[in-house]
Amino acid sequence: MKKKRLLPFFLIVATAFVGCEEKKQMTDNPLLLAYDTPFNVPPFDKIKDEHFKPAYEEAIKVHNLEIDSIVNNTEEPSFKNTILAIENAGSLLSNVSRVFGNLSKANTNDSISALDKELAPVLTGHYDDISMNSKLFARIKTVWDKKASLGLDAEDIKLLENTYKNFVRSGANLNDANKTKLKKINSELAGLTVEFGQNVLAETNAFEMVVDSASQLEGLPESLKSAAAEDAIAKGKEGKWLFTLQNPSVMPFLQYAQNRDLRKQIWEAYQMRGNNDNAHDNKEVLRKIANLRLEKAKLLGYTSYAAYVLEESMAKNPTNVYELLNKLWTPALSKAKGEAADINKEIKAQGGDFEVAPYDWRYYTEIIRKNRFALNEDEIKPYFSLPTVREGAFAVAHKLYGLTFVALNNVPVYHKDVEVYEVKDKDGSHLGLLYADFFPRASKSGGAWMTSYRSQSKKEGKRNAPVISIVCNFTKPVGDQPALLTFDEASTLFHEFGHALHGLLSNVKYRSLAGNLSFQRFCRITISNYGKLGG
């Protein structure tokens, strides 16, 4: 009898213990707490990889409860209790997704990559369940149908329109059988697109071209040789030179290296990423993505995936895109043929007996530019030091908008190379924060993009300041010298900075209408591991 009486007691104690442990995990997880940091930025110094999965699980749970509250509201659907409620739901999930999504692109590792693959279908399924919730969509449609009588202002109307269209384009009008099909397609696409991006990064990191003779480096600028020597030392290959498929390495090598065989080697490695019939091959991945996208488009009533994607763009449809491309094709082709002819003349003038190949183009273009215009790009790089170009961008923003940028040292960052600036408006008030992550590394995807950790919005008339980030892959500093940018890199900095200004100067009521990525679009891009987050 004692045993029977004690058993429930032990069960109660065990259940309480498990509950306490779960609660402790939640309260110890910095992703689930209000950020106690300057400007309420993510506490990168406290966030660990193991925090992400439980944070996602809790955030999804909270988001579902918020959506259930909207669906089960017995009041007549209104803009406030339906459209605005949907807009405000999922803020916790937004916070977690923004941190994880940005780290998976800018500072990943094996743990984050594995979790990215695992979570992509889960997150896609979560958003699909919301988008295809028939009761929720019925409330949205009720508000949509009576929009003319609601007295909404322009921002309200835009939010309503976006919400309605997003649900329709996500399959809200499909029957149950087709909703099931679409969910399966989206889940597969989520996993495949993450796999594609991870394969490209793995292929990029796997290649190393080690040069052991200075005679093979003829034509290369001293800055590039010094950087290659430093990279070789870092890999335990002192006395040699290491070149990679990171843009600051491969592109100037193709531009300056006299050794044609080495140019060919690094070019072929660069353009064959994901096409080497190995564990990271992307051919089958791409085939599946293309077929699934077509299947998805047709399921939603479009003739092609291009028609689906372009509907909400300036072009509107593939016909308009092809019309523009066909207008460009003839003059562009003529120009390319003229440049090829010039290059072939230069090859023959130097005694070459070959026609121009892709790995020759940058090299001979540089020679022709020097001869024809007396312009040597390497000679102008000292004028494009990263600090100079960055301050130049800041000066332009000050001249145009009165903005000032103050470097901060008390804000947590996810990598030692990351810089943070407080952005102040022309009256000296706080406008937002700007993160800048400029240099390549094995944990970062290629390219350049702008993204955000917090979108601008308003609450009770008060502006919530945005936290914006630009991520690039520029030439690194060598020794005591500052990073010297190419003209293309300097242009890229201004380009991404322009996107950043769009986000920083945003002044709207709703976060999904802010001047950077909407939350829904951010989540979709994060899930698909797309190359440029907003840039």
DSSP 392-440: HHHHHHHHHH--EEEEESSS--SSTT-EEEEEE-TTS-EEEEEEEE-S-
Q: Is 493 exposed, middle or buried (0-12, 13-18, 19+ CB in 10 A)?
A: buried
d(CA 64, CA 37): 28
d(CA 503, CA 343): 43
Is residue 433 one of the residues assigned to a domain?
yes
Count CB neighbours of 192 within 10 A.
22
Catalytic residue annotation: 496
pLDDT digit string (tens) for the chain, length 535 residues: 444 444 454 444 445 454 545 555 567 999 999 999 999 999 999 999 999 999 999 999 999 999 999 999 999 999 999 999 999 999 999 999 999 999 999 999 999 999 999 999 999 999 999 999 999 999 999 999 999 999 999 999 999 999 999 999 999 999 999 999 999 999 999 999 999 999 999 999 999 999 999 999 999 999 999 999 999 999 999 999 999 999 999 999 999 999 999 999 999 999 999 999 999 999 999 999 999 999 999 999 999 999 999 999 999 999 999 999 999 999 999 999 999 999 999 999 999 999 999 999 999 999 999 999 999 888 899 999 999 999 999 999 999 999 999 999 999 999 999 999 999 999 999 999 999 999 999 999 999 999 999 999 999 889 999 999 999 999 999 888 899 999 999 999 999 999 999 999 999 999 999 974 443 343 433 333 333 333 4
Given 171, 203, 230, the domain boundary residue is 171
Q: Quick check: 32 and 65 in contact, CB under 8 A?
A: no
Q: Quick check: 86 and 127 in contact, CB under 8 A?
A: no
Is residue 70 one of the residues assigned to a domain?
yes
Q: Quick check: 346 and 366 in contact, CB under 8 A?
A: no
Specify the CATH number for the domain of residue 159: 1.10.1370.40
Confidence at residue 470, expressed as pLDDT on a 0 to 100 scale: 98
Confidence at residue 526, expressed as pLDDT on a 0 to 100 scale: 37
Given 145, 171, 197, the domain boundary residue is 171
Q: Quick check: 187 and 124 in contact, CB under 8 A?
A: yes
Confidence at residue 22, expressed as pLDDT on a 0 to 100 scale: 52
Confidence at residue 21, expressed as pLDDT on a 0 to 100 scale: 52
Is residue 243 one of the residues assigned to a domain?
no
Is residue 426 one of the residues assigned to a domain?
yes
CA angle 53, 94, 39 (to 5 degrees): 105
Given 171, 194, 218, the domain boundary residue is 171
d(CA 151, CA 277): 60
Q: Containing domain of residue 111, as a range?
A: 2-171
Is residue 516 one of the residues assigned to a domain?
yes
CA distances in angstroms from 113 to 61, 197, 312, 375, 448, listed in the order given: 23, 10, 31, 44, 20
Is residue 18 one of the residues assigned to a domain?
yes
- Supply the DSSP symbol for 79: I
Is residue 455 one of the residues assigned to a domain?
yes
Number of domains making up the chain: 2
Confidence at residue 484, expressed as pLDDT on a 0 to 100 scale: 94
Is residue 362 one of the residues assigned to a domain?
no
273-281 contacts at long range (C-beta below 8 A, 24 or more positions apart): 273/200, 273/203, 273/204, 273/245, 274/196, 274/199, 274/200, 274/203, 276/203, 280/199, 280/200, 280/202, 280/203, 280/206, 281/199
**All residues at 6 or more sequence positions from 313 whose CB lies less than 8 Å from its CB, including other chains:** none
Confidence at residue 153, expressed as pLDDT on a 0 to 100 scale: 97
Q: Which two tokens stand for residue 118?
A: 């695992």
pLDDT tens-digit readout, 170-179: 999 999 999 9
d(CA 299, CA 294): 9
Q: Which amino acid is at 472?
A: C
Confidence at residue 151, expressed as pLDDT on a 0 to 100 scale: 97
Confidence at residue 232, expressed as pLDDT on a 0 to 100 scale: 97
Owner of token pair 């889960």: 122
Q: Quick check: 368 and 343 in contact, CB under 8 A?
A: yes
Owner of token pair 């502006």: 463
